């Protein structure tokens, strides 16, 4: 059986570490973290046969896929590229939340301390760069737990 709760915690820590320098330089690192969590859920379903654990994720993805297909096929208000971009943007907050609810990683004291420190440092970097009009709510932990979960 593949143990993925530690892998999930490592992805969260990597996401927080990578967001600190990505304020101005690399814009897609939060999408990579979300994609990594989605891949972890898919791998868990394949290797551990845990499809039921992620049933909420699959239901939300099916609803969003139906919306995208319906918008492309029947509603001609927008171009397909914009609809697919909207579809990806709509999935972004649901994937980490539902994957973490499905996995239920157990954070020990060291993990909590490390994530707390990384989140405070990334929020400090965002709050100092917020003065130059950069969105503070792009923090990876903000999308998953909200801003004040570890404080």
Instruction: State the sign of the Cα–Cα–Cα–Cα dihedral 72, 76, 81, 84.
Output: negative
More confident residue, 36 or 16: 36
Cβ distance 114 to 13 under 8 Å? Answer: yes
Least confidently predicted of 35-39, 100-104, 124-128: 124-128
| pLDDT tens, residue by residue, 65-95 | 998 898 888 887 778 888 888 888 888 889 8
Residue 63 — very low, low, confident or very high, per pLDDT cuts 50/70/90? very high
Whole-angstrom distance, CA of residue 114 vs CA of residue 93: 23
């Amino acid at each position: 059986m593949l143990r993925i709760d530690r892998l999930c915690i490592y992805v969260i820590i990597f996401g927080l570490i990578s967001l600190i320098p990505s304020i101005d330089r690399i814009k897609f690192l939060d999408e990579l973290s979300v994609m990594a969590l989605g891949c972890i859920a898919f791998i868990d379903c394949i290797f551990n046969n845990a499809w039921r654990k992620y049933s909420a994720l699959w239901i939300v993805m099916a609803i969003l896929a139906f919306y995208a297909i319906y918008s492309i096929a029947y509603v001609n208000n927008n171009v397909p590229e914009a609809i697919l971009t909207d579809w990806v943007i709509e999935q972004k907050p649901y994937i980490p939340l539902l994957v973490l609810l499905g996995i239920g990683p157990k954070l020990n004291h060291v993990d909590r301390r490390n994530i707390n420190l990384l989140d405070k440092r990334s929020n400090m970097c965002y709050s100092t760069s917020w003065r130059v009009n950069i969105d503070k709510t792009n923090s990876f932990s903000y999308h998953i737990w909200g801003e004040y979960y570890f404080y």
